[in-house]
Chain A
Amino acid sequence: MTGYLLRRVLGALVVLLALSVLVYALFYLAPGDPARLACGPRCNPEQIAQVRDQLGLNDPVHVQYAHFLQSLVAGHDYSTGTGVQHCAAPCLGRSYQNDLPVTDLIVQRLPATVSLALGAMVLWLLLGVGAGLLSALRRGGITERLVTWLVLAGAATPVFITGLMLLMVFCAQLEWLPFPSYVPLTEDPEQWAWNLLLPWLALALLESAKYARLTRSSVLEALAEDHIRTFRAYGVSERSLVLRHALRAALPPVIALTAVDLGTMLGGAMLTETLFGLPGIGQLIVQATRTVDLPVVVGVVLVTGAAVVLANILADVLHAVTDRRAALR
């Protein structure tokens, strides 16, 4: 187990390093002058040249990249013209827009993103696993067909359509819910939940389709196994077969998929956050893209990549722990 973990973490580091090279190359070598972007639209050539010097853009590319990695690991001191400012490790550079460290920007956005992801996860697990179980229990019946169609429709609807429909029904027509505006959990837990209800639901409806399908197929697969057939021959009821025995076998992949999805969402559910105006990481990168704020874009991409890579390792470990048939390779 330890050896396995060590190998996976090392592998993940290699992936992340490769990713950083790629992202760095793409974004910093792309057409468009970073110095001009950093300096702003009203800079004269001398000021741009000064900024270029400050950012170290006159160095060869590999030196620039080395500096980027160095500040990621050890932090970095910036001269701002008026004095020296320190950007603590892990330093991802500073935003061109407001000169704040990218790391701080991301940390500020974390609560909204985590709130969205965790709440939605609870809902999608309930909805998805429930629907999957139901359709596995009522095979060949109208329930199964209904669930199959709902799953298809759920997978076919982009989250911003579901979200807009929810907004139209619950906020505009029925006026049951307030227009979502993010309230931090620490400020007012009740308002936090009410305001996040629609984003949770929108995200959960989309995700639960995948979970329903996965639950259904793994329950059916488990039901086809020999020991279940033996139980059935002994007269164990179909209901208890599904709920007590098949479900146990079906859960490991669901747990593993949840880990992967959570990892992806910690990088920001861009569409949901943009639609509902949640100040999360997804919204951050969308805004940064509009203003061509390259350090922020690079930072978010790298952090997201790291979250996903780690989530994948976690998923594999969880899968092995929960399902003894799966071996760690």
Chain B
Amino acid sequence: MSTAVTTQQETGADAVAAPAPAPAPGQFLRRLRARKGALVGAGVLGLLVVLALAAPLLAALEGQDPTTYHDALVDSARGGVPLGDFGGISADHWLGVEPGTGRDLFTRLLYGARVSLLVAVGATLVQVLVGVTVGLTAALGNRLVDTVLSHVSDVMVALPMLIFAIGLTAVVPQDFPRPLLLVLVIGLLNWGATARLVRAQATTLNKLDYVAAARLTGASPLRVARRELLPALAAPVLTYAAILVPVNIVYEASLSFLGVGVRPPTPSWGQMLSSATTWFQADPAYVLLPALMLFVTVLSCTVLGDAVRTALDPREASRLHIGRRTGRKGGAA
């Protein structure tokens, strides 16, 4: 399935050209800072991480917890719509309460952020770990190993993994810790693109003189991989990982939305949105809050990931620049 299409789909990350030398950390940060979007994205994301980490503290500050039912705060005569305006916002419940149960929304959203970020980052780590291992093995192994691993990676990329993920969650024992299961399911099903990227880059690097020199000194493949290839692969892999995080956040939310994510009463944004489908008419605030959290998180991750890619890849920056220049010329002609 080595189609031009699936390659282009993966945000063009499969470029077979040798990875450009990674800029020094200082230079990388300077380039990143030069992009406004990156700053905003990083700021928002930083805030979210702090909020997620401080969830117990903030919950204590508000004096609420995410699981206690408050039957007195919902109108049982109207099917459980929160009493008061905007979903029952009050001094006690800063963002209102959940319709039906009266659970505090502010704390539920905060604890939802924990699930979301934890699962997404964990899954990304698994993906990178497996992807780099498979990609490097394919690049350094003999032809048979390469063919088999490359085919497996291609198939992994092409298949609709959400369906498999759903199927898998059906067969795993119920008492298996759910967040860990999500990390494993998302991570182990979606490493194909990373493996392809690493294989392509490592194959190119492998032909360069300095790697050949290392091999001539008698270094084992393992040592070549560790000392010569991995450092050079850091930049493209990091770039790709930055793009994977928001994808995984959506993944987790999707699984939770479909009812196969974390188990209640643990809150998760996708799960909240799923239950909001029956409430959007009576209590719009209940839809808007988790939707906004999810949207802002994913958008800031995407913007930051985009900026990281540009900052790490000098060719990308110069290509955009050239494109714009010809554009102006063309417009004037």
Q: Which A residues are closer than 8 A to B by beta carbons?
A: 15, 18-19, 23, 26-27, 30-32, 139-140, 152-153, 155-158, 160-161, 164-165, 167-168, 171-172, 210, 214, 217, 220, 223-224, 232, 235, 238, 241, 253, 256-257, 259-260, 264, 267-268, 270-271, 274-275, 285-286, 288-290, 292, 294, 297-298, 300-301, 304-305, 308-309, 312, 315-316, 319, 326, 329
Contact = CB atoms under 8 A, between A and B. Distances in A.
30 contacts: A15-B1, A15-B155, A19-B155, A31-B173, A32-B171, A139-B330, A140-B328, A152-B303, A156-B298, A157-B295, A158-B250, A160-B270, A160-B277, A165-B291, A171-B281, A217-B12, A253-B5, A253-B8, A256-B4, A268-B163, A270-B162, A286-B166, A286-B258, A289-B170, A304-B159, A304-B160, A312-B3, A315-B3, A315-B5, A319-B5
A308 B160 contact: yes
Q: Which of A15, A156, A300, A301 has the most CB of B within 10 A?
A: A156
Given A308-B159, A316-B3, A297 B257 contact: no
B270 to A, nearest CB: 8
Q: Which of B6, B171, B253, B270 has the most CB of A within 10 A?
A: B171
Contacts of A300: 163, 167
A260 B6 contact: yes
Contacts, number: 172
B208 interface: no
B331 A152 contact: no
Nearest to A257: B5
B254 A160 contact: yes
B326 interface: yes
A135 to B, nearest CB: 11
A264 B160 CA distance: 6
A292 B167 CA distance: 9
Contacts of A161: 273, 291, 294-295
Nearest to B276: A164
Interface string B270-299: 100110110011001001000100110011
Contacts of A214: 8
B304 to A, nearest CB: 11
Nearest to B1: A312
A177 B27 CA distance: 54
A324 B324 CA distance: 29
Interface residues of B, number: 57
B9 interface: yes
A158 B168 CA distance: 22
B273 A160 contact: yes
Contact of A289 (B4, B8, B166, B253): B166
B34 interface: no
User: Chain B interface mostly helix, strand, loop or mixed?
Assistant: helix
A292 B170 CA distance: 6
A259 B273 CA distance: 31
B331 A285 contact: no
A290 to B, nearest CB: 7
A309 B158 contact: yes
A133 to B, nearest CB: 14
Contacts of A19: 155, 159
Given A156-B246, A267-B160, A274 B258 contact: yes
B172 interface: yes
A259 B6 CA distance: 11
B302 interface: yes
A238 B331 contact: yes
A219 B119 CA distance: 38
Nearest to A157: B295
Nearest to B303: A152
Nearest to A237: B333
B9 A275 contact: no
Contacts of B323: 139, 220, 224
| 5 A-B pairs closest in CB distance | A139-B327, A30-B171, A289-B170, A156-B299, A256-B5
A153 B299 contact: yes
A91 to B, nearest CB: 19
Given A30-B172, A31-B173, A289-B260, A158 B3 contact: no
Q: Which of B9, B306, B323, B330 has the most CB of A within 10 A?
A: B330
A168 B254 contact: no
B170 A297 contact: yes
A326 B2 CA distance: 13
A257 B298 CA distance: 24
B9 A257 contact: yes
Contacts of B160: 264, 267, 304-305, 308
